[in-house]
Amino acid sequence: MNLEVVLLNRSENKCELCGSADAIQRYEVPPQDGANEQNCIMVCGQCFAQIEKKAALIQEHWKCLTESMWSEVPGVQVMAWRMLNRLRTESWAADLLDMLYLDDERLAWAKATGDHENDGSVDLHKDANGNVLQQGDTVVLTKSLDVKGSALNAKMGTVVKNIRLVENNTEQIEGKIEGQVIVILTKYVRKQGK
């Protein structure tokens, strides 16, 4: 039987962490050698975005772990442990973490990504007004910019469509101005409303 079908049957077409039925998808709990029903879980869009640090951590959302941490599925146990560690400064999460038992093999898997050493903060690309920027957004320059190594001067008010987020640097985006791809500091752009 197809792995996706097995996971959907096991999860009853719901997120195995929070129980939501919205935008369910397979999540392969890293690190992995090969996907199987023990190391893959079904998650909703909201859980996925927060797990992958593409959205801010909403602690109220993760109170669902009170129930799901008792799952017998190794992948669910590992993700519960990781998310509770991100929230460990909250007393309820610290209490749940104290109750959650993982055998040595699963604990090593849970610690393998080093995610437990990070706090719950998420670094997101934000414009000059604090709005979160996403891949493909349209922005407007809030300042005229001279482009290094070029005669191009990007004027204030210039619209830059279909931006790309610079990975590992939340202060930079890439965009095309006059046919040239340039790096732009996020503090000099404003997200254009849709």
pLDDT digits (tens, 9 = 90+) for 19-71: 999 999 999 999 988 899 999 999 999 999 999 888 888 999 999 999 999 99
As a whole-number percent, the residues of the chain with pLDDT over 70 amount to 96
Q: Is residue 60, in this structure, part of any structural domain at all?
A: yes
Q: What is the pLDDT of residue 118?
A: 64
Secondary structure E strands in the chain: 25-28, 40-43, 139-141, 145-146, 153-154, 159-160, 164-165, 172-177, 180-185, 189-191
116 falls in which pLDDT band (50, 70, 90)? low
Q: Is residue 128, in this structure, part of any structural domain at all?
A: no
Number of Cβ within 10 Å of residue 46's Cβ equals 17
Instruction: Enter the DSSP assignment of 16.
Output: T
Q: What is the pLDDT of residue 126?
A: 85
CATH of residue 182's domain is 2.30.30.40
Q: Is residue 107, in this structure, part of any structural domain at all?
A: yes
Q: Is residue 126, in this structure, part of any structural domain at all?
A: no
- Euclidean distance between CA atoms 82 and 161, whole angstroms: 36
Residues 151 and 92 in one domain: no
Q: What is the pLDDT of residue 117?
A: 67
Residues 156 and 109 in one domain: no
Rounded average pLDDT over 88-112: 93
Q: Is residue 131, in this structure, part of any structural domain at all?
A: no
- Euclidean distance between CA atoms 82 and 188, whole angstroms: 35
Torsion of CA 171, 47, 161, 128, to 10 degrees: -40
Residues 8 and 83 in one domain: yes
Bridge partner residues of 192 (DSSP): none
Residues 143 and 47 in one domain: no
Residues 6+ apart with CB under 8 A from 140: 157, 158, 159, 160, 189, 190, 192
Task: Give yes or no for residue 9 having a pLDDT over 80.
Answer: yes
Residues 106 and 41 in one domain: yes
As a whole-number percent, the residues of the chain with pLDDT over 90 amount to 65
Residues 65 and 104 in one domain: yes
Last residue of a domain, one of 62, 84, 117: 117
**Token pair for 16:** 């195995």
The tally of domains found in the chain comes to 2
178 falls in which pLDDT band (50, 70, 90)? confident
Average pLDDT, the chain: 90
Residues 112 and 143 in one domain: no
Mean pLDDT check: name the lowest of 48-52, 98-102, 130-134.
130-134
- Measure the CA angle with vertex 44, ends 122 and 55; round to 5°: 15
User: Residue 144 belongs to what domain range?
Assistant: 139-191
Residues 96 and 179 in one domain: no
Q: Is residue 146, in this structure, part of any structural domain at all?
A: yes
Task: Give yes or no for residue 115 having a pLDDT over 80.
Answer: no
